[in-house]
Every structure is written in C-alpha cells, then in structure tokens.
Amino acid sequence: MTSPDTGSSTAPSPSRPSDAADAALFDAVAVEHGVIYGYGLVSAHSTPDSNQLVSNSLAGHRELREEGIHRLAERKVTPPIPALGYQLPFVVDDPTGAAKLAVRMEEDAAVAWRAVLEQATAGDDRELAVTALTRAAVSAARWRAVLGVEPTTVAFPGGND
Amino acid sequence: MLVGAAALALLGGTVATACGSTPPVKDVDALVGALERARDDSRLAGNAAAAAAPTIATALSVVADQRAAHARALTDEITRIAGEAPTTSASTSASSTSATPTTSGPPPKPPTVADVVAALKQSADGASLLATQQSGYRAGLLGSIAAACTAAATVALATSGVTS
C-alpha cells in the first residue's frame, strides 16, 4: 500500500517497541497513518457515488488510529508519527485506481490488525483488533464491489489460512 | 464501537492462562463449536444457493465455499492442539449420522438469503467473542473468520440485489 517515502524501509522514528504486543499496535498505528494519507488520494479521484464510502472508511481509520495512539501512550510507548510522504504501489489518477488503492489499503490494515489480535495479551486489545479487522474486511468488500471484482469477499481477511 | 481502556486491567490476568502449550479442554470445545457453526453455515448457504436465482446463487456459493474453508482451518487447528481430529456430530461429508442430513437435492423448504445472512451474523458474533478469549494464532484465525462472516452478510449478500 502506501509505504513511507522517507529514508529506508526500517521502522519510522520513534523506535518500534520491543514488546511484541506493543510492537504490533505500533505497526498498526503506522499503517493507519498511511491509510489515512492514502484516503486523501482516494477521495480526490473517486466518483461522487463513492463519497459516503470514502468518508465512512476514513472516519473509521481515524478512530482506530486515535485509539491505537491512546493505548500506546497509556503504556508509555511513543506512537509512530506520520511519514512526510508515502510511496504508492501504483499510479492513482482515476476512480479505478482510487478504488484499487482503497482495496489494497484495507487489505494491509486487515493484516496489521490481525497481527495485533495475535500478539495482544489483553482482552480489550483483541476487541479493538477484531473490530478493526472486521471493518477492514467490510470496507475492502465494498471497494471490490465498486470495482466490479467478484467475489467481493475473501475467506480469511488479514491472513492466508 | 471502540471499547475503553478500563477493561484492560480486568481481562489482562485471565487471558494470559490461555497461552500454555497444552490448552484447556474448553479451548478445544470452543473451537469445535466454531467448527460446527462453519459447517452448518456452509451447508445452509449451499442449500440456499441450490434454490436461489442465478444472480444471488453465485454469492451464496462463495459463502458456502468460504465457510467450508473456515471449517478446514478450524479442523487443522483443533487437530494440532488436541493431537487428534475433532469428533463432531458431522465429521465429514461421508458421515451417515450427521445431525442435519446432507441430502443430494435441496430440502423441501429451502433456506433463503435472509436465513443465511442471519446465521452469518450470529457466527460473526460468536467468533468475535471467541477471538477475544483466545490468544496467538487461534485469536487471529477466529478474528478473520468473524470478519469474513460480517463482510459476507453485509456486503456480498447485500450487493447481489438483496435489500435486507
């Protein structure tokens, strides 16, 4: 999806925590930063028919990012900051490209939140992760429908079980 | 939608016990429950597909396939942690003592899309809850299953011309 544009592909500053559960949440927040950036482009290139889907998805990702940041801060973990820019996996200059980017970002969000789910040691982190994973799966399916991709759903969002 | 941090302290201690190399029997039982739901949903969607109009039948068949894939993944995981294949009321398609008989043709009154949607939503709720009670790979698998059920119920079976 949208990968940070600055420097190498190593962890963004601040440094990634060593605890596995914190690290997964840190990664998820970093992914959400990129998704929120990417939805700006999706919004710019989508048709008006997708306005509601764009705004609902974006609002959901903002909420998840803020919640993730909040939880990291509670554990004295410095959350990741947004990159200065993000590299897109392909050129986005029309509604089809926008929808493809949205699918890709939702798939990446699903992977990140499933990792949170698997690494979490607290039940309410798992609740957050299941909520996020489900939202990502639903949004990805809606964007596939926009693209006319069949089927719109996958058996294992965020994984390849 | 998002839960507050208050529950963190409450749940943090109890779930840690689920991480052992020999999971309690209740973990296996919980997974068997999810497995039976996956098989039931797959059968239900398959029966509904057999009786549905072609446009929605395709989406129902996809649901049947995905729930069957869930059943396979859950079977693998149960086998891994229990050391043996799960013994449920309907082990495989060859079983002659299944709780809900799988006949070759559609039943007299075939299930509707709404029936499948309702079942998927229940399955999603069950898998979501279970995912928060399990850990590691099992939590992830159940979370993906919950997400897939919700996406199927709210998108795949809704965009195929069904309004409910």
Query: What is the pLDDT, as a whole number, of residue B20?
Result: 44
**Could you tell me the two tokens for B6?**
């208050």
Nearest chain A Cα distance for residue B15, angstroms: 7
- E strand spans, A11-136: 86-87
Please name the residue that has the structure tokens 């990502």: A136
| DSSP string for residues in A8-20 | SSSPPSSPPPSSH
For chain B, what's the residue count? 164
Mutual orientation of helices A20-45 and A51-74 as an angle, nearest 10°?
A: 160
Interchain proximity B140–A114, CB inside 8 Å? yes
Residue B50 to residue B38: CA distance in whole angstroms = 18
Q: What angle do CA B30, B157, A100 make, to 5 degrees?
A: 100
Distance, in Å, from the CA atom of B162 to the CA atom of B164, rounded to the nearest integer, reads 6
- Taking contacts as CB-CB distances below 8 angstroms, the residues of chain B near A134 are 124, 128, 143, 146-147, 150-151
- Residue at B150 is within a domain: yes
Residue type, B7: A
Distance between CA atoms of A139 and A110, rounded to whole angstroms? 10
Q: How far apart are CA B40 and CA A50, in angstroms?
A: 35
Q: Is B53 inside a domain boundary?
A: yes
Q: Could you tell me if residue B14 is inside a domain?
A: no
B118 in any annotated domain: yes
Q: Which of B23, B116, B39, B127 has the alpha carbon at shortest distance from B75?
A: B39
At residue A9, what are phi and psi to the nearest 5 degrees? -90, 15
Domain count, chain B: 1
pLDDT at B78 over 90: yes
Residue B97 in any domain: the answer is no
Note the pLDDT of residue B159: 55
**Cβ B155–A63 below 8 Å, yes or no?**
no
Rg of the Cα trace of chain A?
15
Q: What is the CATH number of the domain that holds B67?
A: 1.20.1260
Q: Let me know if residue B114 belongs to a domain.
A: yes
Give A-chain residues touching B8 at CB under 8 angstroms. 122-125
Range of B28's domain? 24-85+110-164
Output the pTM of the full model. Answer: 0.84
Which parts of chain A sit beneath pLDDT 70? Answer: 1, 6-12
Answer yes or no: is B11 within a domain: no
Which band of pLDDT confidence, cut at 50, 70 and 90, is reported for residue B71? very high
**pLDDT averaged over chain B?**
80
Q: From chain A, pick out residues whose CB is under 8 angstroms from the CB of B146.
A: 130, 133-134
Q: Decide if B99 is inside a domain.
A: no
